[in-house]
Structure 1
Amino acid sequence: MLEAYSRAWTEIDYDAIRHNVKEVKKLVKNTKIMGIVKANAYGLGDVACAKALQKCGVDYFGVSSIDEALNLRNAGIQDNILILGYTPSMHFHYLHEQNIVQSLVSIEYARELNAYAKENDVKIRCHCKVDTGMCRTGIVYQEQDKHIEDIYEEYRLENLCVEGIFSHFPVSDCLDEDCTEFTKKQIQLFDEVIDLLKSQGIDPGIRHLQNSYGILNYPELEYEYCRPGLLYMGVTSDDHIKIKTNPDFIPIMSMYANVSLVKWIYPGQSVSYGRHFIAEKPTKVATMSIGYADGLPRLLSNQGFEVLVHGQRCKLIGNLCMDQCMIDVTEVEDVKEGDVVCIVGHQGNEVVTVDQISRMAKTINNETLTSISSRVPRLKVRS
């Protein structure tokens, strides 16, 4: 039995990242990995994950913003860092000062960045973002609207060093016929852009297209890099979605909380706000020290979600509160204050997955992980 560390905490096995990276490499063969560590590596620690990925030979990292890039630089990460999102003009100076690569979200943005670079007599490293169907950022290149001249212009801007090109899949996780055809069309459009660049004597640079589900369902694509995020953490966005491959991932995160009180309630007594649980028989109730302010979704309330106490499954009862919630431990012997409750992970012969939380909360694992509060300590453990 684990000893309690705090009121609530996570344990992260960064060593398991090596195993998960090997599983990714089995799929993509010679394609290199750009480790996506945005949003504090989906809540699991950007610096720790980046350093674990470096040990696996990963030499490129993807983040969403300049502050995330600077956090890696300040931690001593000197490998290539690509900002996948928007950097405001007031922060352009960091790009050349810290040798950070900026994605070009539009031709207007590229012109603005080039004007800054020219005025300051610097070169700024960039990747060209092509919108092949996500309709989020990038120069549009879709079947009905092809802005190839804007892409040419980006590569020819004198003070930008455009050394890569990428696009993004919105439905690579779906194997339905319509979604598959949409994704295949994106691949065709992306390759078409690359061929057109080459026909103009322009080197497109490094190419990257596969996100996590692009890796799982289209591993045969042979670009220079792919962009796994959750995969190296041992989970997918939704474990119930059918995929074409069968990797053997190890989830790197588990989550725990303390039992703070155990007491009996009797028929007619209710639990928590709203009185949504009313006991029909004598019930032993344990309060555990975690709530929605810690990142446990309030939508789990009264849905039959189960946690593990002494290796036995126990249901959450009543509404989940900001800092606490209650579970039915009637069938578990010797439960006492200070006992460890497993919310995600293994205890005894049982397991609870983050996907079970996400499914009941009607969301995906990406949101569940990134919602874990900063007040929940992330503890490093070894395999």
Structure 2
Amino acid sequence: MLESYSRCWTEIDYAAIAHNVEEIQKLVGDTKIMGIVKANAYGHGDVECAKALQKVGVDFFGVSSVDEALHLRQNGIHDSILILGYTPPEHFHYLIEENIIQSLVSYDYAQKLDAYAKEAGTKIRCHCKVDTGMCRTGVIYQVQEKNMDQILAEYRMEHLIVEGIFSHFPVSDDLGQESAAFTKKQIELFEEVCDNLRKEGINPGIRHIQNSYGILNYGDLKMDYCRPGLLYMGVTSDDAIPIASKPDFIPILSWYANVSLVKWIQKGQSVSYGRHFIATKPTKVATVSVGYADGLHRLVSNCGLEVLIHGQKCPIIGNVCMDQCMVDVTQVDDVKEGDVVVLVGRQGDHRVTIDEISRKSHSINNETLSDIAGRVPRLRRREK
């Protein structure tokens, strides 16, 4: 572990990304990887993750917005970047200027983009989004409604270069019979669209449909690319969800804070806002310099979430405050100001995980990691 940098900080082992990519590649074979680095790579640092991925041969990146794409470009990421979400028309010029690929979020949107490219006297790179069951963005192609004519029309637009086609799984994390049948139907519909394009003499281009759980549970689809996010960071959305494979991932993020004060309180004294914790006996309390403004959700208050101090598990007591929380350290000797507290990671023989925070806050790891605040420094763990 690095020396304390701040009142609260994370350490990220970017070197471990190579191992996690290798584990992903075992599942998908020759399918290439599009590294999803949206939302600052789920809080892990978009540029740092992209550069670590480049080192192991990843040459394609996915983001949610044009500003995220521009941030990568401004920091030396010159490989292909796909914007998975919506770009407002007033920002279409960036797609041309920075050679960014735009997903076609609807047929009407494709028409607007085509008209803009015509006016600009150029062509814009795109991927066709097919809605096979997510009902979020893309041209609907589902059992109830198949808009193949719109998909064909997008590929035939004169000022768009449709280089690929993709869809998204809403329940690939669920191995239950109903959800598995739904996902398999999505795969069938997606393949049907690609076959229909080929029958019209159109090359579908780069095909990608597998998100992280699609990789874990449907790794053998033989698509051109897959789209891991959390997986290359070494975690899944929920540790309790069964998966069909047995990868050996290394979580790359650890999270720390400092003890700022240690004091004894007596029976009947309360801790924090709302007085939801009242001591039933003399209790040694450590105030810790991390709170909900740092990303430690207020929902974890008074529910038994444990952190590590001197290698021992200690429960958070009372309500989590904006910048601080309190921990019962009665059973731990010699706790003092400046001691390192582990929120996520290892200390001694014990480990605490991001998943424990997610479960206590009724969330998923995607959200919990993304919620670690920008004011929390991301330190690169020293390579061994």
Same fold (TM over 0.5): yes
Counterpart in 2 of 1:183?
Answer: 183
* Contact kept? 1:14, 1:382, Cα under 8 Å: no
Counterpart in 1 of 2:225?
Answer: 225
- Where does structure 2 lack aligned partners over 5 or more consecutive residues? none
Deviation, 1:123, is: 0.7
TM-score normalised by length of structure 2: 0.99
- The one-letter code matched in structure 2 to 1:4 is S
Deviation, 1:3, is: 3.4
CA distance in 2 between partners of 1:382 and 1:175 (Å): 39
Aligned ranges for residues 161-176 of structure 1 at < 5 Å?
A: 161-176=161-176
Q: Deviations over 1:211-266 (max 9, x none)?
A: 00000000110010000000000000001100000000000000000000000001
Counterpart in 2 of 1:200?
Answer: 200
Counterpart in 2 of 1:276?
Answer: 276
DSSP 3-state at the match of 1:238: coil
Counterpart in 2 of 1:264?
Answer: 264
Aligned ranges for residues 112-127 of structure 1 at < 5 Å?
A: 112-127=112-127
Aligned ranges for residues 45-60 of structure 1 at < 5 Å?
A: 45-60=45-60
1:70 equivalenced with 2:70 (yes/no) = yes
CA distance in 1 between partners of 2:328 and 2:238 (Å): 28
CA distance in 1 between partners of 2:63 and 2:5 (Å): 31
DSSP 3-state at the match of 1:307: strand
Counterpart in 2 of 1:342?
Answer: 342
- The one-letter code matched in structure 2 to 1:226 is C
Give the share of equivalent positions with the same residue, in percent. 72
- The one-letter code matched in structure 2 to 1:163 is E
* Contact kept? 1:65, 1:83, Cα under 8 Å: yes
Q: Deviations over 1:12-36 (max 9, x none)?
A: 0000000000000010010000000
1:361 equivalenced with 2:376 (yes/no) = no
- The one-letter code matched in structure 2 to 1:123 is K
TM-score normalised by length of structure 1: 0.99
1:159 equivalenced with 2:159 (yes/no) = yes
Deviation, 1:382, is: 3.0
Deviation, 1:2, is: 5.8
* Contact kept? 1:311, 1:348, Cα under 8 Å: yes
* Contact kept? 1:2, 1:340, Cα under 8 Å: no
CA distance in 2 between partners of 1:186 and 1:269 (Å): 57
* Contact kept? 1:15, 1:382, Cα under 8 Å: no
Deviation, 1:379, is: 0.4
* Contact kept? 1:256, 1:344, Cα under 8 Å: yes
Q: Deviations over 1:177-212 (max 9, x none)?
A: 000000000000000000000000001001000000
CA distance in 1 between partners of 2:172 and 2:299 (Å): 28
DSSP 3-state at the match of 2:362: coil
- CA RMSD across the alignment: 0.7
* Contact kept? 1:3, 1:340, Cα under 8 Å: no
Counterpart in 2 of 1:330?
Answer: 330
Counterpart in 1 of 2:250?
Answer: 250
- The one-letter code matched in structure 1 to 2:158 is E
* Contact kept? 2:2, 2:382, Cα under 8 Å: no
CA distance in 1 between partners of 2:100 and 2:262 (Å): 53
DSSP 3-state at the match of 2:86: coil
Deviation, 1:144, is: 1.1
CA distance in 1 between partners of 2:60 and 2:332 (Å): 48
Deviation, 1:5, is: 1.7
Counterpart in 1 of 2:3?
Answer: 3
CA distance in 2 between partners of 1:79 and 1:349 (Å): 42
